[in-house]
Amino acid sequence: MGEFNVHRVRFFNYVPSGIRCVAYNNQSNRLAVSRTDGTVEIYNLSANYFQEKFFPGHESRATEALCWAKGQRLFSAGLNGEIIEYDLQALTIKYAVDAFGGPIWSMAASPSGSQLLVGCEDGSVKLFQITPDKIQFERNFDRQKSRILSLSWHPAGTHVAAGSIDYISVFDSKSGSAIGKMLVDRQYMGVSKRKCIIWGVAFLSDGTVISVDSAGKVQIWDSATGTLVKNHLVSNADVQSIAVSAQEDSFVVGTAEGTVFHFQLVSVTSSSSEKQWVRTKPFQHHTHDVRAVAHSPTALISGGTDTHLVIRPLMEKVEVKNYDAALRKITFPHRRLVSCAKKKQLLLFQFAHHLELWRLGSTVATGKNGDTLPLSKNADHLLHLKTKGPENIICSCISPCGGWIACSTASRFFLYRLNYEHDNISLQRVSKMPVFLRSALQILFSEDSTKLFVASNQGSLRVFRLLEGGFTHLHSFQPQSGTVQSMCLLAVSPDGNWLAASGTSAGVHVYNVKQLKLHCTVPAYNFPVTALAIAPNTNNLVIAHSDQQVFEYSIPDKQYTEWSRTVQKQGFHHLWLQRDTPITHISFHPKRPMHILLHDTYMFCLIDKSLPLPNDKTLLYNPLPPTNESDVIRRRTAHAFKISKKYKPLLFVDLLDEKTLVAVERPLDDIIAQLPPPIKKKKFGT
Amino acid sequence: MADLEEGFTLTAVPLGSGPDGPLGVEQSDKTDQFLVTDSGRTVILYKVSDQKPLGSWSVKQGQIITCPAVCNFQTGEYIVVHDNKVLRIWNNEDVNLDKVFKATLSAEVYRIHSIQGTEPLVLFKEGAVRGLEALLAEPQQKIETVISDEEVIKWTKFFMVFRHPVLIFITEKHGNYFAYVQKFNSRILSKYTLLLGQEEKCVIQSFSTSVGRKFISLMSLTSDGCVYETLIPIHPSEPEKNQRLVQSQLLKSVVSGSARSGAALSILDQDHVAVLGAPRPASKECLSVWNTKFQTLQTSKELPQGTSGQLWYYGENLFMLHGKFLTVIPYKCEVSSLAGALGKLKHSQDPGTHVTPHFVNWETSQGCELGSQNSEQSKRILRRRKIQVSVQPEVPASTQLLATIQKDSEKHIEVELRKFLATKRTPDFHTIIGDVVIGLLGRCKAEPSFYPRNCLMQLVQTHVLSYSLCPGLMEVALEKTDVQILQLCLQQLPDVPESVTCACLKLFLSIGDDTLQDADINMESVSDYMDPVQDGEMEEQTTFLQNGFNPEEDNCDSCAQKLKEKPQAAADESTSCPLTPKRAALLNAILCSAYSETFLLPHLKDIPAQHSTLFLQYLYFLYLKCSENATMTLPGTHPPTLNQIMDWICLLLDANFTVVVMIPEAKRLLLSLYKFVKSQISICSELNKIEVSFRELQKLNQEKNNRELYSIEVLELF
């Protein structure tokens, strides 16, 4: 297959933000995750845990609570005192409503989904009615003396438990009056702590209230009498989160030490029907605070300060013992944060609030496999571009010639012109943005850097012609009538004739850029698209899906190619299908049309379509063959998938030219080093 | 899929039989053992899995065995007939067939039949049948003739239909076949004429039967190579009348008609038959398995050295003659699926299927409970039915045991319990054991004289009990001062509450030595470091200097001066155990049990000062023993660990410090304890320092790696 010089880049100083809330929706089997920077991500658990949507964060909008209501509507509330509803189709914020109670610490949707309850800093609990297009304030519950940190509805909707500081209140949801108060012991191991914060409450249908608090206790209360039934001391540090299964036979709590405990309702003896909550399984998948947990019918989901989203299947609930029964740890976003100007060897890194432009170094030396070559020129940090305003960057792109940079936040679109004069670089913002160009979900430049393609929120695709110092709007492809499907992924053919775009769930549309019309739609497939690319010369569209299938579709012929049919007939290697991160980028070898480069977080793969496909008996991940083996054997064992797992975790891989690869790595240790230190546990002399 | 496995030869020596093959292969009363009767004079008992003979018996020269030997399943004896009329009965111990029981009968015997569950039957050549017992009572009794002249018995089989023995035999007369079915519950003999389906007469070569719900299915292999099935009603409508039965063709041309030595047929199961014979006139003989439902050949095995046209099928083994050797081919038929039949059972070969790791399912006990509830429910239904039809329902063993506990004597309970424990463990075994213990304890409370010590010991040793399953057990043992049970409980139960642990501790410290003398205590944990003769005093003082700890080393304070005054005494005190080994073993059980300090401390305060000093002395002694070797462990099996010892010292001192400090005899002990705590603290602080330095080193190491933020490497993709 040949030798490559690999630019191994580890200076992309990307740190994902910590997870603050998770909310599981049983109806659609989707998981909403909010992070400390205000970003909200939607994972589709049915589609191989693919992160199919995201809403960019906002500096002043720290989410403290997240919940699904009325079926598929998603709400969040935060310390800025606003309740926000998200538009899951257009991927924008629908509206924000101020609750006028100071920072909001907690939120809960009623079991019927028609009412929303928020707990505020000033001790008020406010009830909102969910109307078809908005929410409307209805009533205040009896005011408490300190902030309401947690809320839980009784499954029948008649009562509400609210966790505050040092006590839990029980409200009648009809009248809004407090009918009970349960005081929580401040004492911890005989030492009186200052305060006991009730981080989470859960109301069960038999009237039991479960609370978790900052003294490390999980307490089970009888809400009717207000008495403590059982006390489990699970941690020396805070217990920060709780989630109960829909059947109310098990619940999960997360602690500040990174431990997640599973509790189950187990019968005490064989003869009696009496059941008891028993702490059954501890899991330690986190190093830092577990801020949020969720309980799906088959798995425990947890996330926290260490930025990992961990999905731990419950083995007794998993029916098919396949790869779905494995533990999932999701750390990196399932979208591209790096773009590359191949000719100029430039890399553009996207952070939450700024962009960084780097120029790769060079070498004149040559070496054999495994060598690290001496650098004749090191990589340069050319540019640090900070966006104005509190909003996070949604997407960014650099043109293949390196002369343009575009990026977008939720309300502003930025386009810059770059001029290179020897080692000096000058940057000029293109002003006079058209009014309709406010924000973009995806930006792409054509191969010759003369056109700019922008996918905007309402499903429209806009084409601009770039001129020296300005640009003109050429055309706008409108979505088919009746759909408000946002396009998230774009690909343009190197000859500039074709543009492919894929939305969050609908199929891939291919547009003819010359004639400015829709050319065809690729047959729909069950799983969302994770990456798209159009091959040079042949104009074959390569599509990767979240179930790890890869299709090749000939745009001129409007049908799947012969190779793609062969692959589908034979099936992918089982190890290929078992990879647990999606393919986030596809590119092609500039000289060899048979080669496709794809990568996910833990490997990159060069597919040589001329070689036979591997079957389940062949080794997918080829180890290096010993040098003394003859070419015959090597040729016999060779198959189409040339995989390297040398660089990981990978955020980006591309072919700069036929002999050069660039691989952007982000070692986990570097991320951990930038997190706050975890709670220290003394090993000796305790 | 039906499958023939690799066969093996049973007899190393060829049978002296010639081409006729053996007379018969019959099951013996032990599984895996078979009686092979030679057509000459010999009967051999084989163990098939070992492929070796266990016994061999021969009749005298000049005599000839005429009927294969069988085993009487009721007595375990073997029966054989030689010279048509002479019956011999013997067992494994007998060597010479001439000296065993002999009975001469008045008519010629065709075959003796013996199957499990009923007495052997003797079928005479004239068609009469007698039970063995009745025959032996009067051997010379008159035997009537059942079948007509020139009628010859060709084949016979004996089996049970709904617990009633049924004998079927086929006779032939001038090419016509007749089937006789003798039922012994009603003593009815039914006769049927078998009508062959095809025009030309052909010879039936082999028969086999299987029993269904209403019919006996008789399969026959004819000389034209086809298999026919005849259904014989089990309950004939008109038993006395001669009825005709039509044969229907089941399989066609399974063997070639002109086989040299005949063909044989055996029903394997509902859908499968084994056929022995040559499939084509010229080919070698084969053993083949056919599926009668789909009429397909499932598998076959070539027998190149020829066979005799005899086939026996018992259990999972097919017996046949191959060349001159008796060969066994195991046969297996696994549950087949459509995919399996089409040869596409893909997942079984899929290398990607992962074996799920073992995990504890907390819901199993719930599931079992549900199951038991269900069974209870069904039992109730059964009981209701019992009133109507008085059917005895089967009571589960655990319920029986619980009933036994309520009324029977201690001895009887013990026996029953042993029986119960020997049976297979069900998933809810632990809850049943818990119920049993609670039942026993309940009776203990009711009857003060009742104390089933052995039973309780056995139950605790099942390793499935926990304190919460049988809350009263330790209280009762404490009441009876049964230290042995207490020790066991402390070792086996994972969740003994601290108050009970402490009560045990008090008892162990206060119990008199003479009482302990009689108790049978497990000394495992102390045997290696404590000799009952107490030769500790002989030990060298230097032995405990290895850990760097020396009570004489003056690094502490002026108080140590006092120690110096009587170094020898101090040494004595520290090296000799302050307790008897039995008491030490009991205390070790306490040290090894689980506890939480918060709950233990208040109870420890109640221990009298003398006892706590004694216990402290013992702990100190253990600590010194620990320090003797480099690994800081005590010898022996399951000794207390250093951590446990230290924790208990701390706990005891925390609880009783003000008292202990006032007792003069504890003073020296406290001083030495103070010293070793000091040394421990310094060790720990050093360890913490080392940990921090290592972390710094690690950080440096990481930084070194991270410094290479950018490099160009060469990578070759193969």
How far does the CA of residue A372 sit from the closest CA of chain B (Å)?
Answer: 4
Record: contact B359-A575, CB cut-off 8 A: no
Q: What is the pLDDT of residues B456-466, one digit of tens each?
A: 888 888 878 88
pLDDT level of residue A255 (50, 70, 90 thresholds): very high
Chain A touched by B362 (CB under 8 Å):
yes
- Whole-number pLDDT of residue A616: 79
Residues of B in contact with A624 (CB under 8 A): 716, 718
Residues of B in contact with A370 (CB under 8 A): 713-715
Residues of B in contact with A267 (CB under 8 A): 365-366, 369
In terms of C-beta distances under 8 Å and separation of at least 24 residues, what long-range contacts does B45-53 make, across chains too?
A: B45/B78, B45/B92, B46/B10, B46/B11, B48/B10, B48/B317, B48/B328, B51/B8, B51/B9, B51/B10, B53/B11
- Quote the tokens at residue B599: 């709950």
Residue A678 or A139, more confident: A139
Helix, strand or coil for residue B406? Answer: helix
Cβ within 8 Å of A, B 460-499: 468-469
Indicate which CATH number applies to the domain containing A124: 2.130.10.10
- Whole-number pLDDT of residue B557: 44
Find the CB nearest B435 among A266, A270, A316.
A270
Find the CB nearest B711 among A8, A322, A326.
A8
Residues of B in contact with A300 (CB under 8 A): none
Find the CB nearest A9 among B431, B435, B710.
B710
- Whole-number pLDDT of residue B542: 36
Chain A touched by B347 (CB under 8 Å):
no
Instruction: Give Cα B446 to chain centroid, integer Å.
Output: 38
Count contacts between A and B (CB, < 8 Å). Answer: 156
Residue A532, pLDDT > 70, answer yes
In whole angstroms, what is the distance from residue B567 CA to residue B248 CA?
Answer: 106
Chain A touched by B643 (CB under 8 Å):
no
B642-660 helix and B609-627 helix, angle to the nearest 10 degrees: 150
Considering the domain boundaries, does residue A351 fall inside one?
A: yes
Mean pLDDT, chain A, integer: 88
Q: What is the pLDDT of residues B307-343, one digit of tens each?
A: 777 888 887 888 888 777 788 888 877 655 443 444 3
Considering the domain boundaries, does residue A83 fall inside one?
A: yes
DSSP secondary-structure letter at A466? E
CA-nearest of A172, A112, A179 to A139 is A172
- Whole-number pLDDT of residue B220: 84
Mean pLDDT of B551-558: 41
Tell me, yes or no, whether A230 and A250 share the same domain.
no
Residue B694 or B161, more confident: B694
- Range of A584-598, B224-238, B277-291, B348-362 with top mean pLDDT: A584-598
- Quote the tokens at residue B302: 């070539």
In whole angstroms, what is the distance from residue B615 CA to residue B622 CA?
Answer: 11
Residue B243, pLDDT > 90, answer no
- Whole-number pLDDT of residue A262: 94
H-assigned helices in A359-398: none
Tell me, yes or no, whether A375 and A473 share the same domain.
yes
Tell me, yes or no, whether A366 and A318 share the same domain.
no
Domain end point (choices A301, A330, A359) = A330
**Cβ burial A243-282 (10 Å sphere, 16+ → b, else e):** bbbeeeebbbbbbbbbbbbbbbbbbbbbeeeeeebbebbe
Q: First and final CA of chain B: distance in angstroms?
A: 43
Residue of A nearest to B359 (CA): A315
Tell me, yes or no, whether A319 and A347 share the same domain.
no
Residue A531, pLDDT > 90, answer yes
Record: contact A685-B702, CB cut-off 8 A: no
- Whole-number pLDDT of residue A354: 94
Considering the domain boundaries, does residue A4 fall inside one?
A: no
Residue of A nearest to B376 (CA): A271
- Whole-number pLDDT of residue B347: 38
Residue of A nearest to B371 (CA): A270
CB B327 within 8 A of CB B9: yes
Mean pLDDT of A124-148: 93
Q: Where is A22: in which H helix or E strand?
A: strand A19-25
Best residue in A236, A270, A368 for a mutation probing chain B (most B CBs within 10 Å): A270
The owner of tokens 């038991």 is B372
- Quote the tokens at residue B684: 């720990």
Residues of B in contact with A368 (CB under 8 A): 714, 716
Record: contact A661-B718, CB cut-off 8 A: no
Domain end point (choices A244, A268, A296) = A244
Residue B201, pLDDT > 50, answer yes
CB A553 within 8 A of CB A562: no
CA-nearest of B372, B352, B353, B356 to B364 is B372
Q: What is the pLDDT of residues B23-50, one digit of tens each?
A: 888 888 887 888 888 877 888 888 887 7
pLDDT level of residue B568 (50, 70, 90 thresholds): very low
Instruction: Give Cα B168 to chain centroid, integer Å.
Output: 38
How far does the CA of residue B431 sit from the closest CA of chain A (Å)?
Answer: 6
Q: Tell me the one-letter amino acid at B281.
A: P
Residue A620 or A532, more confident: A532
- Quote the tokens at residue A227: 């008495």
Mean pLDDT of A222-242: 91
How far does the CA of residue B611 sit from the closest CA of chain A (Å)?
Answer: 28
Residue A480 or B714, more confident: B714
- Whole-number pLDDT of residue B605: 87
- Whole-number pLDDT of residue A155: 94
Record: contact B350-A622, CB cut-off 8 A: no
In whole angstroms, what is the distance from residue B293 CA to residue B227 CA?
Answer: 13
Find the CB nearest A3 among B680, B685, B716.
B716
Residue A534 or B449, more confident: A534
- Quote the tokens at residue B602: 């208040």
How far does the CA of residue B592 sit from the closest CA of chain A (Å)?
Answer: 19
B195: number of Cβ within 10 Å: 12
CB B472 within 8 A of CB B438: yes
- Whole-number pLDDT of residue A126: 95
- Whole-number pLDDT of residue B538: 36
Helix, strand or coil for residue B24? Answer: strand
- Range of A453-467, A473-487, A545-559 with top mean pLDDT: A545-559
Q: What percent of chain A has pLDDT over 70?
A: 93
- Whole-number pLDDT of residue A506: 64
- Whole-number pLDDT of residue B553: 40
Domain end point (choices A214, A244, A274) = A244
Neighbouring-strand partners of residue B546: none
Record: contact A267-B432, CB cut-off 8 A: no
Record: contact B710-A371, CB cut-off 8 A: no
In whole angstroms, what is the distance from residue B343 CA to residue B460 CA?
Answer: 52
Strands B317-322 and A309-313: unpaired
Find the CB nearest A267 among B365, B681, B684.
B365
Chain A touched by B688 (CB under 8 Å):
yes
Find the CB nearest B715 among A322, A644, A683.
A644
Strands A517-521 and A529-534: unpaired
Mean pLDDT of A302-318: 88
Residue A644, pLDDT > 70, answer yes
Cβ within 8 Å of A, B 377-406: none
Residue B371, pLDDT > 50, answer no
| Dihedral sign of CA atoms B701, B706, B707, B710 in order | positive
Considering the domain boundaries, does residue A14 fall inside one?
A: no
How far does the CA of residue B506 sit from the closest CA of chain A (Å)?
Answer: 26
- Whole-number pLDDT of residue B409: 81
Residue A368, pLDDT > 50, answer yes
Residues of A in contact with B469 (CB under 8 A): 269
Tell me, yes or no, whether A486 and A619 share the same domain.
no
- Whole-number pLDDT of residue A562: 93
Residue B539, pLDDT > 50, answer no
In whole angstroms, what is the distance from residue B682 CA to residue B547 CA?
Answer: 14
- Whole-number pLDDT of residue B391: 40
Find the CB nearest B710 among A190, A325, A379.
A379
Q: What is the pLDDT of residues B471-498, one digit of tens each?
A: 888 888 888 888 888 988 888 888 888 8
Find the CB nearest A685 among B362, B684, B714.
B684
- Whole-number pLDDT of residue A367: 86
Best residue in A5, A269, A639 for a mutation probing chain B (most B CBs within 10 Å): A269
Tell me, yes or no, whether A227 and A249 share the same domain.
no
Residue A170, pLDDT > 90, answer yes
- Structural domain range at position A37: 19-244
Record: contact B356-A325, CB cut-off 8 A: yes
Considering the domain boundaries, does residue A7 fall inside one?
A: no
CB A369 within 8 A of CB B714: yes
Q: What percent of chain A has pLDDT over 90?
A: 58
Find the CB nearest B691 among A5, A271, A683.
A683
Tell me, yes or no, whether A323 and A342 share the same domain.
no
Mean pLDDT, chain B, integer: 76
DSSP secondary-structure letter at B425? P
Cβ-based neighbours of A313, under 8 Å, separated by 6 or more:
A298, A299, A324, A325, A326, A327
Find the CB nearest A270 among B352, B369, B708.
B369
Find the CB nearest A363 among B353, B712, B718.
B712
Record: contact B354-A323, CB cut-off 8 A: yes
pLDDT level of residue A323 (50, 70, 90 thresholds): low
Judged on CB neighbours under 10 Å (0-12, 13-18, 19+), A678 is middle
Least confident of A16-25, A257-266, B447-456: B447-456
Least confident of A29-43, B12-26, B495-509: B12-26
How far does the CA of residue B537 sit from the closest CA of chain A (Å)?
Answer: 33
Residues of B in contact with A361 (CB under 8 A): 710, 712
How far does the CA of residue B433 sit from the closest CA of chain A (Å)?
Answer: 10
Q: Cα A58–A59–A64 angle (5° rounding)? A: 80
Tell me, yes or no, whether A84 and A175 share the same domain.
yes
- Quote the tokens at residue B198: 């095809």
Q: What is the pLDDT of residues A504-513, one digit of tens each?
A: 766 788 999 9
ipTM for the whole complex: 0.82
Chain A touched by B348 (CB under 8 Å):
no
Tell me, yes or no, whether A486 and A346 share the same domain.
yes
In whole angstroms, what is the distance from residue A280 CA to residue A297 CA?
Answer: 17
Chain A touched by B262 (CB under 8 Å):
no
Mean pLDDT of B658-667: 84
Residue A518 or A486, more confident: A518
Tell me, yes or no, whether A355 and A217 share the same domain.
no
A635: number of Cβ within 10 Å: 9
Record: contact A642-B687, CB cut-off 8 A: no
Record: contact A370-B713, CB cut-off 8 A: yes
Q: Whole-model pTM?
A: 0.61
CB A437 within 8 A of CB A398: no
How far does the CA of residue A37 sit from the closest CA of chain B (Å)?
Answer: 27
Residue A244, pLDDT > 80, answer yes
Cβ-based neighbours of B217, under 8 Å, separated by 6 or more:
B209, B210, B211, B229, B230, B231, B232, B267
- Whole-number pLDDT of residue A1: 58
Domain count, chain A: 4
CB A185 within 8 A of CB A215: yes
- Quote the tokens at residue B229: 């099935």
Q: What percent of chain B has pLDDT over 90?
A: 1
- Whole-number pLDDT of residue B476: 87
Q: What is the pLDDT of residues A384-441, one digit of tens each?
A: 999 888 999 999 999 999 999 999 998 889 999 998 887 788 888 888 788 888 889 9
Tally the residues of chain B.
718
- Whole-number pLDDT of residue A182: 93
Helix, strand or coil for residue B678? Answer: helix
Considering the domain boundaries, does residue A501 fall inside one?
A: no
Tell me, yes or no, whether A575 and A535 share the same domain.
yes
Q: Cα A84–A89–A90 angle (5° rounding)? A: 75
Q: What is the pLDDT of residues A189-204, one digit of tens each?
A: 556 667 899 999 999 9
Tell me, yes or no, whether A347 and A389 share the same domain.
yes
Q: What strand order describes the sheet that includes B152-161?
A: B152-161, B164-173, B176-183, B188-195, B243-246
Chain A touched by B715 (CB under 8 Å):
yes
Considering the domain boundaries, does residue A502 fall inside one?
A: no
**Cβ burial B623-654 (10 Å sphere, 16+ → b, else e):** bbbbbbeeeeebebeebbebebbbbbbebbbe
Record: contact B709-A10, CB cut-off 8 A: yes
Considering the domain boundaries, does residue A388 fall inside one?
A: yes
Q: Tell me the one-letter amino acid at B635.
A: P
